[in-house]
């Protein structure tokens, strides 16, 4: 079976969405909390910069008007998945549990582009 969507998420809930935190939120939290060593933090910042440059930031994520989570589209994101693997390695290095969720049922889509969807959580 092929799945349309994929999300890398933690086991702790986001205060805003009440859903599991995504990989970027988890890594930023480890940086803010001083968990990551400086060179690992720099690696993550490079990963984050690549995504900011290459992946559209959904307007619904920028405004904060509604709580949303995002999923990668599996059919068009092979390069993005390759780019995110080092961040997954960082989670493993610091023993931060995460899950890779594949699904065809994401809920109400409020934003969509070539690479991702944003889904309403509330």
38-53 pLDDT, tens digit each: 999 999 999 999 999 9
Q: Count CB-CB contacts under 10 A for residue 84.
A: 19
User: Whole-angstrom Cα distance, residue 17 to residue 120?
Assistant: 9
CB-CB contact of 12 with 21 (8 Å): yes
Question: Is 62 a residue whose pLDDT tops 70?
Answer: no
Q: What is the DSSP string of 58-80?
A: -HHHHH-SS-EEEEEEGGG-HHH
Question: Is 59 a residue whose pLDDT tops 80?
Answer: no
Residue 76 confidence (pLDDT) = 82
Q: What percent of the chain has pLDDT over 70?
A: 95
Mean pLDDT of the chain: 92
- Res. 71 pLDDT band, cuts 50 70 90: very high
Q: Which of the pair, 41 or 59, is modelled with greater confidence?
A: 41
| Count of domains for the chain | 1
């Amino acid at each position: 079976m092929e799945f349309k969507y994929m999300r890398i998420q933690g086991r702790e809930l986001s205060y805003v969405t009440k859903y599991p935190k995504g990989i970027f939120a988890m890594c930023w939290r480890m940086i803010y909390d001083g968990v990551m060593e400086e060179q690992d933090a720099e690696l993550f910042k490079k990963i984050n910069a690549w995504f900011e440059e290459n992946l559209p930031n959904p307007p619904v994520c920028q405004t904060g008007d509604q709580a949303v989570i995002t999923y990668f589209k599996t059919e068009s994101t092979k390069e993005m998945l390759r780019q995110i693997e080092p961040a997954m390695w960082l989670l493993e290095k610091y023993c931060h549990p995460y899950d890779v969720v594949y699904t065809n049922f994401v809920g109400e889509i409020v934003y969509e582009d070539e690479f991702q969807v944003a889904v309403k959580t509330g």
